[in-house]
Amino acid sequence: MINKDRPFSFDDYDRENDFKKFEDFNTSNNEIITDENIYINNEIEDDGFVPTSSGSTTTVKNKDSNFVFFYGTSASGKSVILSAILYYLNSFAGVLRPKLGSPNSRESHVLLADFFENIKKGILPNRTTRDQVTRLDFVFDPNNKSVKVPPVSLSFLETAGENHNEISRGGKYVDGIEAYLNSDIPLNFIIVTSYDRAHHEDSKIVEFLDYLERKGKNLKNVNVLLVISKWDKSGNMGVDNEQHLENFISERLSMTNNRIDTYNLSKTYFTIGNVQNQGGMEKITLLNLDSAEVIAKWLYYNIAGYDLDYEGTFWEKIKFSFSK
């Protein structure tokens, strides 16, 4: 499970199932971590954002954010996890709003719309286009009113699983991906491998961790989360206890597990719920956001330093009690 000093726990879901339409994806600049003085205009800047040509001059624009980089080979479940995190944050934990000044491309608008429209229909996300980095920029406003739980800027980076094979045996990423790994920006890494493929990907994950080290990303100081996706293929929606997950990772991912233990990195599992094959296409028949909630809370805690469900300071608790 999540390898932190404080345990995570799931609250019973007793929330409304209404779906808020995400408004036109406008964009803006925002202070890294927090900014309370953000407004929304009516213009959308629609440029390509990160070039994928073979030149060596690719740079990252608009660095003032907290970047979330997904690693995982093709069909590992990265897009499903991303869509579930976004849906949880925007439907239950607070509001995801456009970040003004960030050059979100048309591809990011389409991807976001597909995520939000399809997840409630039980439709899994399409695979990402190879050699293309799609960046999704947001300001996340938590519905927790404590001053210790501020808004944060989030930039999710989506790229195809095939691109991650390029670093094997001394290779390198395309320039669009290299630009982020070479930049001095706050990076959070979510490493995804599936329940049924984990034993094939142990060495690939270690190669990626070594790649980060060569890029100057000291694993002792970087936020890294290993996620075992498609946990429903085990026959269960969750784990019986923490040792259940520990045993799976140590058996199927022995080298990766050694890195995780050595550098005190985090680990958890993920399932989107019940998935069945209908007419040759996999569809979600029962949506489960429990594991998406855990990943979202891990991400927020590592960025802001406080839990999303922090109960408030002493004076805030008194204030909140009178406001109920």
pLDDT tens per residue across span 6-30: 444 434 434 444 333 333 333 333 3
Amino acid, res. 45: E
Predicted pLDDT at 12: 40
Predicted pLDDT at 268: 96
Averaged pLDDT of the chain: 79
Please give the structure tokens belonging to residue 49.
């954002």
Predicted pLDDT at 320: 52
pLDDT tens per residue across span 294-322: 999 999 999 999 999 998 775 565 655 55
Q: Are 157 and 111 in contact (CB under 8 A)?
A: no
Domain ranges of the chain: 66-323
Q: Are 210 and 71 in contact (CB under 8 A)?
A: no
pLDDT tens per residue across span 208-263: 999 999 999 999 899 999 999 999 998 888 887 888 999 999 999 999 999 999 99
Phi-psi region of 260 (alpha: psi -120 to 50; beta: other; left: phi over 0): alpha
Of the spans 48-52, 77-81, 218-222, 297-301, which averages the highest pLDDT? 297-301
CA–CA dist 77, 70 (Å, integer) = 10
By DSSP bridging, strand 152-158 and strand 94-98 are unpaired
Q: In terms of residues, how long is the chain? A: 324
Classify domain 66-323 at the CATH topology level: Rossmann fold (3.40.50)
Instruction: Report the greatest alpha carbon distance in the chain.
Output: 62
Percentage of the chain lying above the pLDDT 90 cut = 44
Predicted pLDDT at 292: 96
Percentage of the chain lying above the pLDDT 70 cut = 75
Whether the pLDDT of residue 54 is over 80: the answer is: no
Predicted pLDDT at 7: 40
